[in-house]
Structure 1
Amino acid sequence: METERSMPSGVAFTAYSGYRLRFREAPADYGEVLVYADEKTLEEIRRRFPEKRGPPNVFAFLADKRLLARCTDSVVPDALLFADLWNQREWYAREFLNALKKRLAP
């Protein structure tokens, strides 16, 4: 996805992008990118993705250093990935959540 490639370094992907990057597959097509970042990186995200008309498709959340230190390959830990997918309202969130449950189940 072009939006993911345009993100500055230092972000931690979550939800749909996080799942796709961690497991190298996407159970469904998706249109939103959710990331965590520090304050400096958030400023760069705002510069690269200015607000525009229509529904937003980039969501950036302030992360503390402890969260960013626990990320692997620019993806949040599995527990946060699960929580963020669970909190999404789009129909395809359920597809991602079910796929994640299967991967996390013993």
Structure 2
Amino acid sequence: MALTSTQISLRQQLAATGTFNIETLLPGEEWSRPELGEVRHVLSMITLNDMQLADRLHVKERTVRKWRKGDIRMVFTTWCCLCQVAGLGSLLD
């Protein structure tokens, strides 16, 4: 699925910060696992509170809190969902 102009713009803004590893937005084998700062940044782009996000992704609210604290190592599928909810588009080919 092609990215929209809004999604492209959001990704360009992240890249322009110089502090966000844009390789975390690459698909599949090219993907780099995000660091805590990148996870927090994407979570900050999501307008849902922790309970709403947990409900949306069918996880426990405690899991969302662990993502924010860096207590859980981010996996690709979860990161794909977070990026999609944040408006960054799909990371899947």
Bin for the TM-score computed over the shorter chain? 0.3 to 0.5
Q: Which is greater in Rg?
A: 1
Structure with the larger strand share: 1
Q: TM-score, normalised by structure 2?
A: 0.32
